[in-house]
Structure 1
Amino acid sequence: MLIRTEAPADILAVDRLLKSTFETEAEANLVMRLRENGRRTLSLVACNDDGEVVGYVLFSPVTLDGSDLNWQGLAPLAVDEQYRNQGLAAELVKEGFAALYEFGYPACVVLGDPAYYGRFGFIDSEQHQMRCQWDVPQGAFQVLALAEDEFDQRSGLIEYSPEFSDL
Structure 2
Amino acid sequence: MLIRTEAPADILVIDQLLKSVFDTDAEANLVKSLRENSQLTLSLVACSDEGEVLGHVLFSPVTLNGQDMLWQGLAPLAVAKAHQGKGIAKALVKEAFEILPELGYPACVVLGDPSYYQKFQFESASDYDLTCQWEGEVPQGAFQVRSLVEAPLQVLLEQQSGLIEYSAEFNQL
Q: TM-score range by the shorter chain?
A: over 0.9
Instruction: Please name the residue that 1:137 is paired with.
Output: 139
Residue identity matched to 2:98: A
8 Å CA contact 1:131–1:156 kept in 2: the answer is: yes
- The 1-side partners of 2:99 and 2:139 are apart by 30
- The 2-side partners of 1:141 and 1:125 are apart by 6
Residue identity matched to 2:50: D
3-state DSSP class of the match of 2:145? Answer: strand
Instruction: Please name the residue that 1:63 is paired with.
Output: 63
Which stretches of structure 1, 4 residues or longer, exceed 6 Å deviation after superposition? none
Instruction: Give the 5 Å matches for 1:10-159.
Output: 10-134=10-134, 135=136, 136-147=138-149, 148=151, 149-159=155-165
Residue identity matched to 1:20: S
Listed one character per residue, the Cα deviations across residues 96-153 of structure 1 (whole Å, up to 9, x for unaligned) are 1110011110000000000000111100001100001002111000000112031331
Q: Does 1:8 align with 2:8?
A: yes
- The 1-side partners of 2:124 and 2:159 are apart by 17
8 Å CA contact 1:73–1:109 kept in 2: the answer is: yes
Gaps of 5+ in 1: none
CA RMSD of aligned residues (A): 0.7
User: % of aligned pairs identical?
Assistant: 64
TM-score scaled by length of structure 1: 0.98
TM-score scaled by length of structure 2: 0.95
- The 2-side partners of 1:73 and 1:145 are apart by 12
3-state DSSP class of the match of 2:156? Answer: coil
